[in-house]
Structure 1
Amino acid sequence: MRILYLFLVLGKLRLLSLKGLYQIALAIRHYGINVMVLLKVAASMHGPKEALVDEKGSVSYRQLLEESERLSILLKHQYGLGSGRKVGFLCKNHASFVKAVFAVSLTGADLCLLHPEMSLRQFNQWLGDHDPDLLVYDAELTSYLERSSYAKEKLASDSLSNIDGLFESNGWEGEKPSRTSSSRLQLMTGGTTGVPKKVEHRPSLFDYLPPFYALLTRLPLLQHRTAYIATPLFHGYGIAFLFLLLALGKKIVLTPGFHAGKACDLIRKHEVGIVTAVPLMIQKILKQSRELPSLGCLISGGAQLHPKLAAEVFHRFGDVLYNLYGTSEAGINLVATPQDLRYSPQTLGKKVPGARLQVRDDRNRELGAGQVGQFCIKNSWSMRNRGRAWIETGDLGYRDRNGYYFLCGRTDDLIVSAGENVYPLEIEQALIDHPDVEDAVVIGIRDEAYGQRLRAIVQPTEAATLTPESLMDWLRPRLARYQLPKEILLADEIPYTHLGKRDKKLPKEKTGEG
């Protein structure tokens, strides 16, 4: 089956020629089976074209390959990197971060991508658990590191802008990088309901062929030259699309943070056709701009896409919206095209080839169409640090009779009120459908009579004149009686995590329910 997908992908990339196959064989022989093969083939096809554009300038595919090779040799000699060593990254989105990722991978060392704004307590805890040999970090985090317990080698990403100078000053001209296939990639989950957990992948080009092919066939990636990755590269969603878009020879625009006004300016300036974002980013883009003529593929992932937001995208920009479902542990498994979202704006889409997704109850029994249970996933591109073959995602949902999947919420969000199962997501969606509601979050609160009841926290739109009573009247004909909140509170803003998911820990902590 892998051979079939290999030929399908190569056909899409126009590499089913003697020249293309030769370039692939040469890259594997030179580097081994790792992500540098993608860059080598891309550089051979798109050498002088721009690969990355950030706030400091642009880098061509040939430059990116050559500088990543040089940096890998420097890291090997100066820091002793190789198989069995570990490198932590505390970086935002920029070209130097990308070069370092490729370079470390080529040394054979393991990569650990961390959130650069994680708390000092979380960072120190991670250090105690993982003990990295080197830390690559953004210079703005210098004082942060000085306050931490980290005492080993570190390398500021800003210094990597002059790799040629660093390389020549040590007399390593002419040395070639080693061949390796041992590097592993470690990501951290979003941690919306607890301490972020590590997710370890051993990148294999062959394992990722099925989802790669699905994205090539269901998304119009081949039709556009330029992409903007708005999502953080330290997260699985962002790094996966970085590798995918580089393999396709795209010009990729990166920014260290997301600001809607700046994002819209960059989309216009570079005539960006592809944008990766989370729903919160899309919502801010819609507030900022009414027209983005070059936009042809707006990819939403990382959090639940609300039907109201999808409808606004279709109205404003046309059929450009694509919704992805995946997890850090299991990768991308469901894709919804604009046609799928027309079928139902709430759908996560259909399975990608090679993905096995079952809906199971709390006794681990597979459920049929229309029955709500936990999504359990098995595929060849999932994480490698679990003993079990099936991965429990923690997401609750169901499959309809036409093979479309729908999300109901998280297992730890489920509220049992007077014996009835209540999914907060359904109430949140009903509230956001109100024309004067900007956002909403629903949490469970203790109740002596019912065990648990619901509290809704609502963010009104600007100039709205909402009251809790009027919202309750709005909900009564739209929800079952057991789904109605016990109380509704109005708030200036709903808190979100750094990955664009509603942060339900904060409302619980503030109201004493955590």
Structure 2
Amino acid sequence: MRWELDWLDNRARLSPEKDAIIDEKTNQAWTFKEVNERAKSVASWLQARGVKKGNRVALLSPNHISYFDLLFACGKIGAILVPLNWRLSEHEIRGILLDCSPVLIGIHHEFETIYEQLTNLCPNSFLIGDASYEAISSYPNRDNFLEDIVETDPWAMIYTGGTTGKPKGVVLSQQSILWNAINTIISWSLTADDVTVNYLPMFHTGGINALSIPILMIGGTVVIGEQFTEHKVVETINRYRCTIILLVPTMYHLLIQTDDFQGSDFPSMKIFLSGAAPCPLQIYEAFQKKGLAFKEGYGLTEAGPNNFYISPEDAQIKPGSVGKPMMFNSIKLVRTDGQVTENNEVGELLLKGKHAFSFYWNNEQATQETLVEGWIHTGDLAKRDKEGFYYIVGRKKDMIITGGENVYPLEIEHWLSEHPDIDEVAVLGLPDEKWGEIVAAFIVLKDSSIVGEDELRSYCEAKLGRYKIPKRFIRLDELPKTHVGKIDKKKLREMSTTV
């Protein structure tokens, strides 16, 4: 393996005794030297089991040290790690396994109930999280991995959420993971003093690539978070003196309502980051009231997932902006005719850089549609102000065309979420014979709140054009969420016919 690709080996040489990873549940810590030795042991064990360059190794586990063991081990021998979304149904997981055909699968003992069913598809399996796995992580290592590995070789394959159809296997090369980390470290000014706790699922690019890999590369510390609770996170941040954290808006929505949040000054924290979905403006306001730095970013499995930078100062002045392109990636917004947009004109967001994915596994058509002349067509709509700051408007497929007018749901969601009686809101277009589509708002009211549709329409009239005002307000007890906490609009669309 080329020395510049095995950066963990180099980091272990530079910072051998520095804590790299800590398990929140057990408080066990591993230094960079220990993490690297574990990776070498697991790599040797994989090779002894017949795993070769290009083979897929699947993992079904909650957040656990095994994600790092197997990722770094696969990197050393040229295998491809496929982390599996344990929140999917057994049927969906089986579909992914049939698609990627792993030669080996690790299954955490928490999922023993489906162990036998899954091992029918992949007989070569092993358990995670028990004494037998600890034997694997201390397997005698040969430390002489001779594979000829180059930057373009696949390293990981992360399956998309599948909210718009069948999940696609996003192939990430050594290069894409390496350059996302380098770009993030430089653009965000990460240092070896940074500490984060990771509550995002590690089968997701946000859990692996957004902060974990960049912070480890620079020599910082990653705390493996157990199950997120809005009360526990405050104690954990302060206990481990975290400096930076990435959560999704749903998590922040719960966090800012707690007494724990109101009662803590978070003395070690430099910045709170939000990702995975556009962030409601009241979350910005909650952090601003406490004098805490807060901002949001934008990314996707196919690119990074880090693409923009905004300073905390600019984030206060321009709430809702994801900032400007980072150091080593390019951004452009295009109209439907392919021409670049003017300032404040909405267009599709295209991304380009060495952090881009390589291709979709077994899906050449989707690859050709998404990756065009090096540009990733994200399907997301955005605009750029005259100072060069970007704002995500919403998904291209979510744009509502009602009576010939374009409506962007995020604008309406931001305004409705400011209503004192509304806890959560999602807006989408529903088919209509007269208008083509109508604007519909799915809302969850705060406890004991009572508000009528006429009052909500009057509230919308204060800020929104008449064609943007929802023609239907649908009340729910809660909004359905995807496995990473995004509001599931596909499920809402299905529900709209029954409510």
Q: State if a TM-score over 0.5 links the two structures.
A: yes
* Deviation per residue, 1:210-256 (Å, 9 max, x gap): x5455335535328442111212221222112211111222211123
Residue 230 of structure 2 aligns with which residue? 260
Q: Quick one: which amino acid aligns to residue 454 of structure 2?
A: E
Q: Does 1:390 align with 2:375?
A: yes
Structure 1 residues 392-411: aligned runs within 5 Å: 392-411=377-396
Which of 262, 283, 286 is 2:256 aligned to? 286
Cα distance between partner residues in 1 of 2:224 and 2:318 = 32
Structure 1 Cα separation of the partners of residues 80 and 250 of structure 2:
32
For 1:162 and 1:59, locate their aligned partners in 2 and report how far apart those are by CA, in whole Å: 16
Structure 2 match to 1:295: 269
AA in 2 matched with 1:215: T
1:223–1:203 CA distance, 2 compared to 1 (3 A)? closer
Cα offset, 1:507, TM superposition: 1.8
Matches within 5 A, 1:325-344: 325-331=298-304, 332-344=306-318
1:218-257 to 2 correspondences below 5 Å = 218-219=187-188, 221-222=190-191, 224-240=193-209, 241-257=211-227
- Where do residues 81-100 of structure 1 align in structure 2 (5 Å cutoff)? 81-100=51-70
Report whether the alignment pairs 1:447 with 2:432.
yes
C-alpha separation in 1, matches of 2:298 and 2:137: 42
1:187 touches 1:236 (CA, 8 Å); kept in 2? yes
Match status 1:503 vs 2:480: no
Equivalent-residue separation in structure 2 for 1:125 and 1:305 (angstroms)? 32
Contact 1:187–1:235 (8 Å) recurs in 2: yes
Query: How large is the Cα RMSD of the aligned pairs?
Result: 2.3
Matching residue within 36, 52, 60 for 2:31 = 60
Encode CA deviations 1:454-491: one digit per residue, 9 max, x unaligned.
21111122343322221111111211111011121222
The whole-number CA distance in structure 1 between the counterparts of 2:99 and 2:198 is: 31
Corresponding residue for 1:43?
Answer: 12
Indicate conservation of the 8 Å contact 1:374/1:392, yes or no.
Answer: yes
Aligned 1:164-243 pairs, distance under 5 A: 172=140, 176-181=144-149, 182-204=153-175, 208-209=178-179, 212=181, 214-219=183-188, 221-222=190-191, 224-240=193-209, 241-243=211-213
Q: 2 CA distance for matches of 1:272 and 1:247?
A: 17
Write the letter of the residue equivalent to 1:234.
F
CA 1:162–1:136: 2 relative to 1, 3 Å: closer
In structure 2, how many angstroms separate the alpha carbons of the residues matched to 1:470 and 1:382? Answer: 47
What is the identity, as a one-letter code, of the residue corresponding to 2:32?
Y
Residues of 2 paired with 1:187 and 1:320: CA distance?
31
Amino acid corresponding to residue 230 of structure 1 in structure 2 = Y
2:467 alignment partner, one of 469, 482, 485:
482
1:180 to 1:324, Cα distance in 2 relative to 1, 3 A: farther
Residues 283, 505 of structure 1: alpha-carbon distance in 2 compared, 3 angstrom cutoff? same
Displacement of 1:191: 2.8
Report how far residue 167 of structure 1 moved.
5.1
Relative to the length of structure 2, the TM-score reads: 0.89
One-letter amino acid matched to 1:143: T
Count of residues paired in the alignment: 476
Match of 2:297, SS state, is strand
Aligned match for 2:90, one of 120, 143, 149 = 120
Deviation sequence 1:156-181 (CA, Å, 0-9, x none): 1214775457756xxx4666444542
Residue in 2 aligned with 1:320?
293
Deviation of 1:441 after TM superposition, in Å, equals 0.7
Structure 1 range deviating more: 212-221 or 481-490: 212-221
- Tell me the residue number matched to 2:362: none
Aligned counterparts of 2:311 and 2:178: Cα–Cα separation in 1: 20
User: Partners in 1 of 2:113 and 2:82 — Cα distance?
Assistant: 21
CA deviation string 1:100-145 (max 9, x = no partner): 2211221211111221111222212212222111112211122224
How far the C-alpha of 1:393 sits from its partner, in A, is 0.2
CA contact (8 A) 2:303 2:356 kept: yes
AA paired with 2:156?
Answer: L
Separation in 2, partners of 1:308, 1:414: 23
- Which of 358, 378, 401 is the equivalent residue of 1:416? 401
More deviation, 233-242/458-467: 458-467
CA distance in 2, matches of 1:155, 1:183: 23
Counterpart of 2:386 in structure 1: which amino acid?
Answer: R
Structure 1 residue 368 displacement after superposition: 1.4
SS of corresponding position for 1:438: strand
Which amino acid is 1:94 matched to?
H
Deviation at 1:45, TM superposition (A): 2.5
Q: Distance in 2 between matches of 1:513 and 1:202?
A: 44
CA distances 1:2-28 after superposition (whole Å, capped 9, x unpaired): xxxxxxxxxxxxxxxxxxxxxxxxxx7
Q: Specify every segment of 5 or more residues in structure 2 that has no aligned partner in the other structure, as ranges.
A: 360-366
The alpha carbon displacement at 1:394 in A equals 0.7
Tell me: CA distance 1:175–1:504, structure 2 relative to 1, closer, same or farther (3 Å). closer
How many angstroms apart in 2 are the aligned matches of 1:176 and 1:284?
49
Q: Which residue of 2 aligns with 1:76?
A: 47
Identity %: 26
In the aligned structure 2, how far is the partner of 1:322 from the partner of 1:161? 42
3-state secondary structure, aligned to 1:326: coil
| 1:306 counterpart = 2:280 | yes
Distance 1:226 1:167 in 2: 26
User: Residue 425 of structure 1 aligns with which residue?
Assistant: 410
Aligned position for 1:493: 478
Letter in 2 for 1:462: D
Gaps of 5+ in 1: 1-27
Q: CA deviation at 1:429?
A: 0.9
Post-superposition offset of 1:334: 1.4
CA contact (8 A) 1:201 1:384 kept: yes
Match of 2:246 among 276, 281, 285: 276
* Secondary structure at 2:257 match in 1: helix
Asked if the contact 1:443–1:456 (Cα under 8 Å) also holds between the matched residues in 2, the reply is yes
Q: Structure 1 174/234 Cα, relative in aligned 2: closer, same or farther at 3 Å?
A: closer
- Deviation string, structure 1 residues 259-283 (Cα, Å, up to 9, x no partner): 2222222112212222121121122
